[in-house]
Amino acid sequence: MEIESRELGRLGGPVDFIKQRVFLAAAWRKLVMFNYEVDPALLRPLTPAGTELDFYDGAAILSLVAFRFENTRLVGVPVPGHMNFEEINLRFYVRRTERDGAIKRGVVFIKEIVPKPMLSLVARVFYNEQYETYPASSHFISDADDPERLLTLEYGWGNRRGSASVRVATDGVRRPILPGTEEYYITQHFWGYAAQRDGGTMEYEVAHPVWNAWGVRSGVFQGDVSHIYGRTFQNILAGRPRSMFAVDGSEIAVFRGHRLPP
């Protein structure tokens, strides 16, 4: 039995931040995802206590995900200067089996990059997530005759020590993400797990509807950010991904976390 996250549509209109225990609400938009098959031995030491690697068709997958945060609110409060920004994260996929046999599928972040120092501080303090602050940018090109036909998505990040970018070209056609596909697997992990300094694990839930995706014609990762991720992960990112996705995104809610029982 799998546990599905609450979709935003089921929350009954505007989110009640107190009753629903929402820590952060925002929109995640224009997601670019580069996915790599990696040796599970690389990820197991990073897997938080109480979770195990989650495989897709027998493969352990590492994803580089770049997207836009928009209309961001912390516990219901918009923070001036911190509502719209880019995030680039490096992540992999885990699962947790509850005592009743229910399965939660989740994400572990190796590194999360944002251009706002306060956001990094809040995420480290409340969740011990591996946030760092670097300049980041985004650029999008739409069809001149139809702005809904997004043709190019590009993100860049880094500093003087090294920088990188990801870029995809699409066919401009959005399609529903269907169950059973790799796109569905990558986008439908509704739990976050973060190892804590004392060896414990923080678990938190993320809610959003099923997204749509543009067909990707081509994509490229360029640059060297080994000072951020380390040489091993840099070499993986510079290699050939098993898949590349461009996803429209939606409103999301991140719920307050709690520590897993020992």
Average pLDDT per consecutive 10 residues, the chain (262 residues; last block may be shorter): 61 47 91 98 97 97 97 79 90 94 95 81 67 93 88 96 97 95 96 91 94 97 96 97 97 91 72
pLDDT for the residue numbered 14: 45
pLDDT for the residue numbered 75: 74
pLDDT for the residue numbered 90: 98
CATH code, 8-257: 2.40.400.10
Nearest one of 245, 236, 240 to 185, comparing CA atoms = 245
CB–CB of 249/211 below 8 Å?
yes
Residue with tokens 């959003």: 208
Q: How far is CA 111 from the centre of its chain?
A: 10
Classify 114 in phi/psi space as left (phi over 0), alpha (psi -120 to 50) or beta.
Answer: beta
pLDDT for the residue numbered 127: 65
Domain ranges of the chain: 8-257
